[in-house]
Amino acid sequence: MKIQSVRGMNDVLPADSAAWQHVHAVAAQVFAAYGYGELRLPVVERTELFKRAVGEVTDVVEKEMYSFEDRGGEALSLRPELTAGVVRAGIEHGILFNQQQRVWCTGPVFRYERPQAGRYRQFHQLDVEAFGIATPDADVEVIAIAAQLWKRLGLSGFELQINTLGTPGCRATHRAALIAYLAQHEAGLDEDAQRRLHSNPLRVLDSKVPATQAIVEGAPKLLDYLDDASIAHFDAVKAGLDALGIAFRVNPRLVRGLDYYTHTVFEWVTDQLGAQGTVCAGGRYDGLVEQLGGPKTTGVGFGLGIERLILLMGVQQVAVTSNAPQVYICRMGAAAEVQALQLAEVLRDQFPTLRLVLNAGGGSLKSQLKRADQSGARYALVIGDDEAAAGSVQVKSLRGEGDAFPCPRSDVAAELGSRLAL
């Protein structure tokens, strides 16, 4: 039997990894520019963490988690999202108590979903979180970080949708009105919506089933149940976005799929990826740290899907710096073997960013030059017996930039530095 990758869990081949490296490098620069430090988390967590954080009556916990019992009898899960793990780490290491904390993290997450373009069972997220800042300027900041990331990546065509879920008290009042309304139309709701009508009615608003969506259109809106403090918080967020020139649309049906959100929620969506239009989403979750056993600490952040981001980069033909080698060294003869080996290390020492391949495995000059061309390198450096004896190197353009020419080995670094702008 031929062993293949698990359905929905994909390999990223070397030819495709340049885009991933580019996204990670740009994201790290953007997050650092706002004062966010990187946090690295384990992939496996206790199942209880996600039940308590995400909510037991959610698609993620009910249907999509990869959960198992280890040999010690402990219930564990592959993480389906990153925020819960960030909060768990913050509590465990005492970095959230009575202080502000700005962090970001990245890595694979796992959900058992039907694989399709932009939605996989193992996918990768970038996650940004700010703790200990209760004021709406933190909401504005994390949204601005995403907007800055789009600029740095050269992406466009997003719509920012925002909403507010208010406080738990606001939601409790709205919840009662929502249940009363939905109960009158229970027969027309889909099976999941009927099951959640009393346990998690807010999630019914997020249904993708057309018949349920039609009923939801007439449901009570949470915006009509907000208290003065919630309205003021949301107004300040909108004013902050206006001040930054970040366009947005208030979407009163936006509730997000996780139970821990309060106040601001938002999604960056695009119409260029088909059905999977949400690229980045997040919001405020002021009760989550306390819910997981930590001190009362406010929080706000977002997660974005790297696969969807890279798909969008492809659609918009965003230029990505190639990770192909710039220089390929061909060598023939015993003396040339040694000199080429030494030259390669001299060049790597002098130019840490230089991408250089030294031919290995022998071969004729013709076969080596073919490998050089196939590698994508701009230049081939050729050292044979004659060059080794003369202390020189033949510099050959592989991309039609002129004829080959001899260059003293001592001048090769300067020649390449000038041609490649190293």
Domains of the chain: 14-167+227-315 (3.30.930.10), 327-414 (3.40.50.800)
Q: Which residues are registered as beta bridge partners of 264?
A: 164
Q: What is the CA radius of gyration of the chain?
A: 27
Q: Can you read off the two tokens belonging to residue 214?
A: 């039609």
Q: Can you read off the two tokens belonging to residue 11?
A: 């390999």
Query: If 0-12 CB within 10 Å is exposed, 13-18 middle and 19+ buried, where does residue 184 land?
Result: exposed
Whole-angstrom distance, CA of residue 222 vs CA of residue 255: 10
For residue 396, report the phi and psi dihedrals to the nearest 5 degrees.
-120, 125
Helices (H), 13-103: 17-33, 47-53, 59, 83-92
Mean pLDDT, residues 28-51 taken together: 96
Q: Tokens 């004062």: give the residue.
A: 35
Looking at 131-135, 196-200, 216-220, 300-304, which range is the least confident one?
196-200
Q: What is the pLDDT of residue 256?
A: 66
pLDDT digits (tens, 9 = 90+) for 213-242: 888 888 888 888 899 999 999 999 999 999
Asked whether the beta carbons of 162 and 250 are under 8 A apart, the reply is yes
Mean pLDDT, residues 270-285 taken together: 89
Q: In which band, very low, low, confident or very high, does the pLDDT at 197 lie, cut at 50, 70 and 90?
A: confident
Sheet holding 101-110, edge to edge: 37-38, 101-110, 122-131, 299-305, 278-284, 262-269, 159-164, 249-250
Q: Which of 76, 82, 267, 257 is nearest to 162 (CA)?
A: 267
Q: What is the pLDDT of residue 70?
A: 94
Asked whether the beta carbons of 161 and 50 are under 8 A apart, the reply is no
Q: What is the pLDDT of residue 170?
A: 84
Q: For residue 396, is pLDDT > 90?
A: yes
Q: What is the pLDDT of residue 116?
A: 80
Whole-angstrom distance, CA of residue 216 vs CA of residue 193: 11
Q: Tokens 């465990």: give the residue.
A: 92
Whole-angstrom distance, CA of residue 275 vs CA of residue 310: 16
* Element spanning 350, H or E: helix 334-350
For residue 25, report the phi and psi dihedrals to the nearest 5 degrees.
-65, -45
Nearest-10 crossing angle of helices 334-350, 412-419: 50
Query: Across the chain, what does the average pLDDT equal?
Result: 91
Sheet holding 356-358, edge to edge: 356-358, 327-331, 379-383, 392-397, 405-408
Q: Which of 267, 168, 181, 226 is nearest to 193 (CA)?
A: 181
Residue 31 gets the label, from left (phi > 0), alpha (psi -120 to 50) or beta, of alpha
Percent of the chain with pLDDT over 70: 98
Q: For residue 258, is pLDDT > 70?
A: no
Looking at 43-57, 129-143, 292-306, 395-409, which range is the least confident one?
43-57
Taking the model in full, what pTM does it have? 0.88
Q: Tokens 């230029």: give the residue.
A: 319
Q: Tokens 């925020």: give the residue.
A: 83
Four-point Cα dihedral 376, 382, 384, 389, nearest 10: -160
Looking at 14-18, 319-323, 347-351, which range is the least confident one?
319-323
Q: Which of 373, 380, 326 is nearest to 353 (CA)?
A: 326
Q: Tokens 């057309």: give the residue.
A: 210
Q: Write the CB contacts of 172 (distance below 8 Å, at least 6 apart in sequence).
A: none
Whole-angstrom distance, CA of residue 177 vs CA of residue 224: 11
